[in-house]
């Protein structure tokens, strides 16, 4: 998958593809997304420690020289993949418009959006949880920053649901917030491949459990 010598999964590839001629932009971007998924799959299945640049190139259908044109190390590839995934996820989740919604409906919308955003990201989940610690601390700090923004967004949404419960009790609010993420983040482990309908149904279940539960704390 070499496109005019351009690697198919660096961070800025969509802009580069749209700026080039040749294939239609939609098809070009699909090639990029495919390459990124292939790279994530290699790290998820082989494990970061065992995966090699040669294996990444082979599975992504590109030359190893093309990878090295953009990334000087396996760490750089991993960081590029996680940075793209987590920043996109942050933008999608934190972009949910909740200002005009009632508190209960706001929570339902956010929970549903998180679970729908996770669809097709099983490899990303595995790599994020199992390989992020291999990166330099400054890069981990940046990636954790995306995670913290999403946690804060859900925290704020949850706090409005039961302000009297969480008043002056930041630890209770934190525990409740992370409990909701726990129900969502591990869904792929026992329902891998779930489609939109199954995810919407489960999101409704999680929202109901949360709404009925926090008010009894």
Name the residue range of residue 13's domain: 2-46
Average pLDDT value for residue range 75-92:
94
Same domain as 115, residue 40: no
Mean pLDDT for all residues in the chain: 85
Closest CA to 148 of 187, 181, 105: 181
Number of domains in the chain: 2
Residue 110 lies inside a defined structural domain of this protein = yes
pLDDT tens, position by position, 135-165: 999 999 999 999 999 999 999 999 999 999 9
Same domain as 188, residue 85: yes
CATH classification at residue 15: 3.30.300.30
CATH classification at residue 189: 1.10.357.10
Same domain as 210, residue 148: yes
Same domain as 87, residue 180: yes
Q: How confident is the model at residue 3 (pLDDT cuts 50, 70, 90)?
A: very low
pLDDT tens, position by position, 182-210: 999 999 999 988 999 999 999 999 999 99
Same domain as 31, residue 136: no
Same domain as 89, residue 173: yes
Same domain as 113, residue 25: no
Residue 133 lies inside a defined structural domain of this protein = yes
pTM for this predicted structure: 0.82
């Amino acid at each position: 998958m070499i496109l005019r010598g351009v690697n198919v999964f660096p961070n800025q590839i969509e802009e580069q593809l749209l700026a080039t001629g040749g294939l239609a932009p939609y098809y070009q971007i699909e090639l990029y997304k495919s390459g990124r998924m292939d790279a994530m799959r290699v790290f998820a299945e082989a494990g970061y420690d065992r995966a090699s640049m040669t294996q990444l190139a082979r599975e992504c259908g590109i030359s190893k020289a093309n990878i090295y044109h953009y990334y000087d190390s396996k760490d750089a590839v991993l960081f590029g993949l996680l940075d793209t995934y987590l920043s996109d996820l942050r933008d999608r989740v934190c972009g949910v418009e909740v200002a005009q919604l009632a508190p209960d409906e706001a929570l339902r919308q956010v929970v549903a959006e998180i679970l729908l955003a996770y669809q097709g990201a099983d490899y990303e989940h595995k790599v994020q949880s199992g390989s992020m610690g291999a990166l330099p601390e400054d890069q981990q700090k940046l990636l954790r920053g995306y995670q913290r923004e999403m946690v804060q967004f859900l925290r704020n949404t949850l706090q409005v649901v039961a302000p009297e419960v969480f008043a002056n009790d930041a630890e209770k609010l934190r525990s409740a917030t992370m409990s909701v993420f726990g129900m969502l983040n591990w869904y792929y482990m026992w329902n891998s491949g779930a489609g939109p309908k199954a995810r919407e149904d489960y999101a409704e279940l999680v929202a109901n459990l949360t709404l009925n539960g926090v008010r009894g704390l």
